[in-house]
Amino acid sequence: MSNFILGRIKSIYFALKGFFWLIRNENSIITQSIFALGFTILGFYLEINRMEWALQILAIGFVLAIESLNTAVEKVCDFIHPDYNGKIGLIKDISSGAVAFAVFTAILIACLIYIPYLL
Ligand SMILES: Nc1ncnc2c1ncn2[C@@H]1O[C@H](COP(=O)(O)OP(=O)(O)OP(=O)(O)O)[C@@H](O)[C@H]1O
């Protein structure tokens, strides 16, 4: 049982290690985090409601999580095949496509939340 708890604590430590690495080193995560901060300030300024906060937090987390997985895919690609390769290029494009899905979703959510406040 104590091994189980120790294993879980170690997993949390490794996850936090990855979390802080992404925030310190990955430009796409830093950029998305700046957008997230901007929308958080806008949310407080326009006093969006509880449900709108929930949707906004979900959209921000969704984009950052998919962006993080995209970074992991890019790192694996660069590790297993550092040279130019058509298949690696397609894998990276598909992984970036996943980010695009998440970002389009977040843009739609932002429109649904903020357009009524602007009108
Ligand atoms: N080894 C490769 N072989 C073929 N095409 C590649 C290769 N590396 C990158 N590409 C092409 O360049 C695009 C950008 O790849 P890259 O790894 O630079 O990602 P990025 O989105 O610019 O990420 P970051 O800014 O985080 O480095 C890929 O989507 C792919 O089309």
Task: Kindly report, residue by residue over 84-94, the tens digit of the pLDDT.
Answer: 999 999 999 99
Q: According to DSSP H, which parts of 26-85 are helical?
A: 27-46, 50-80
What are the residue boundaries of the structural domains of the chain, listed by start?
A: 27-118
ipTM for the predicted complex: 0.90
CATH topology of domain 27-118: Helix Hairpins (1.10.287)
Residue-level pLDDT at 32:
97
Residue-level pLDDT at 66:
98
Residue-level pLDDT at 2:
83
Q: Is 67 a catalytic residue?
A: yes
Residue-level pLDDT at 1:
62
Instruction: Give CA–CA dist 119/115, Å, rounded.
Output: 6
> Rounded to whole angstroms, what are the CA distances from 8 to 15, 18, 89?
10, 15, 36
**Cβ of 97 below 6 Å from ligand 1:** no
- Find, among 63, 76, 10, 6, the residue nearest to 33 by Cα: 63
Give me the catalytic one of 22, 29, 48, 67.
67
- Find, among 12, 14, 30, the residue nearest to 22 by Cα: 30
* pTM for the structure as a whole: 0.92
Residue ranges in the chain whose pLDDT is less than 50: none
